[in-house]
Structure 1
Amino acid sequence: MAHRHDQSGSRPEPASGSPFEIPDPYGQTEGSASASGVAAPLLAGGALALAGVVVQQEDALRYPGVVLLVLVGAILMLVASVQCGMWARQYAVAPTDIQQWWPDPNLTRKAAILRDQKFHAHRHRVWAVRVTLTFNLGVLLLWIALAVAVAPKSDVHEPAWRWGAATLAALGVLAEAAWIALVARGPVVPGQCLGWASRWLYGKPVTPPPAGPGSDVS
């Protein structure tokens, strides 16, 4: 179903006017495809290469076992994101595609088409959420692995710089965890806890324009 944003900045309210199930957000299909088809494979490949370095040069790391364990977890999450994206893509269908497949359906066929489209939209939404979850967890684990990997051993040169790099990576872990929590929560009403962060992430609440004459959107 269609959605619209209210003035409070909370989740969109349903709006009538379209017989199809409309994705929320509108770019959900493209976003999940980009994460699972481009970003996740690249990050998984980088994590796999780093895991190979850890296996070959474990003496250079302070905690090689921990780094390897977290990297394997990151690779698993990123590969799972790719697989979830494959399943999500199978259920991604646009109304224009349906109109091309069924250019002149009768009433019975039209009702069946709408049921099928709603089913596909629901399944796509489920798999798209799984893409987001696995991708975000994979990135979080990558930050953790990087923070542990750059932690210096007692006999290294310039340990202060290494600890500085580890601190920056740890800040990346905290930022990624906060980002995941904020996205999972969604927009909040301004003035509540994390209201400023929600406004930074989602922007100011947008008041929809008034419906024009003859509009069926309430």
Structure 2
Amino acid sequence: MADAIDSATGVAAPLLGGFTLTLIALVVQDDKEFRWPGWTLLLLTLAVLLFITCVQAGFWARWRRPESIHSNLDSPHVLSSYRTWVRVARDTYDAAIILLFCGLGAILAPIDHHDEVQRWLAAGLFLGAAFSEAIWHFAARRTG
């Protein structure tokens, strides 16, 4: 579990957060090219904030990892605190992915009739991915 959390919070979340921040800049620069610029910016902003929260939670989890030199191995609080921060990291990462997929779907929504069908299909694929990610997240929460 520690390796997966380290990868998610130390590699994937910062990378995806930076990518999402770039998308925000793109929408802000030319908002007339997007069907729903306001909603798109809101979804992407929430995703960036959650990616940052995920990174921060990862730092706290590593700091409280039972084998860490910073934690008191005799304390029962250490394992509980570590699990809490791992859960926060996992939940914020999953929520950020869902919001990123929704934001990408909003970016792809057509504003005119040019390639309308293809763009709606592409947007729908991202919304389907967001829905699938949400189901996957809640299924994983139920199984532990």
**TM-score, with structure 1 as normaliser:** 0.62
Question: In 2 relative to 1, CA 114–168 (structure 1 residues): closer, same or farther, beyond 3 Å?
Answer: closer
Displacement of 1:119 in angstroms is: 2.5
131, 146, 164: which one aligns with 2:89:
131
Displacement of 1:114 in angstroms is: 5.2
Confirm whether residue 164 of structure 1 aligns to residue 121 of structure 2: yes
Displacement of 1:122 in angstroms is: 1.6
CA distance in 1, matches of 2:115, 2:102: 22
For these two proteins, the number of residue pairs brought into alignment is 142
CA distance in 1, matches of 2:61, 2:35: 40
Q: Tell me the SS of whatever aligns to 2:74.
A: helix
CA distance in 2, matches of 1:158, 1:79: 35
Higher relative contact order (CA 8 A, sep 6+): 1
- Matching residue's letter, 1:115: D
In 1, are the aligned partners of 2:66 and 2:73 still within 8 Å (CA)?
A: no
CA distance in 2, matches of 1:150, 1:115: 53
- Matching residue's letter, 1:91: R
Task: Give the corresponding residue for 1:148.
Answer: 106
67, 72, 78: which one aligns with 2:51:
78
Task: Give the corresponding residue for 2:23.
Answer: 50
- Provide the identity percentage: 35
109, 120, 131: which one aligns with 1:174:
131
- Matching residue's letter, 1:149: I
Give a deviation string over 1:8-30, Cα, whole Å, max 9, x none: xxxxxxxxxxxxxxxxxxxx222
Displacement of 1:182 in angstroms is: 0.5
**TM-score, with structure 2 as normaliser:** 0.92
CA distance in 1, matches of 2:5, 2:129: 22
Task: Give the corresponding residue for 1:115.
Answer: 74
RMSD: 1.6
CA distance in 1, matches of 2:93, 2:73: 31
Equivalent residues in 2 for 1:14-33, closer than 5 Å = 28-33=1-6
CA distance in 2, matches of 1:114, 1:170: 44
Q: Segments of 4+ in structure 1 off by > 6 A?
A: none
Confirm whether residue 35 of structure 1 aligns to residue 19 of structure 2: no
Unaligned runs of 5+ in 2: none
CA distance in 1, matches of 2:11, 2:94: 14
- Matching residue's letter, 1:186: T
Unaligned runs of 5+ in 1: 1-27, 99-112, 188-218
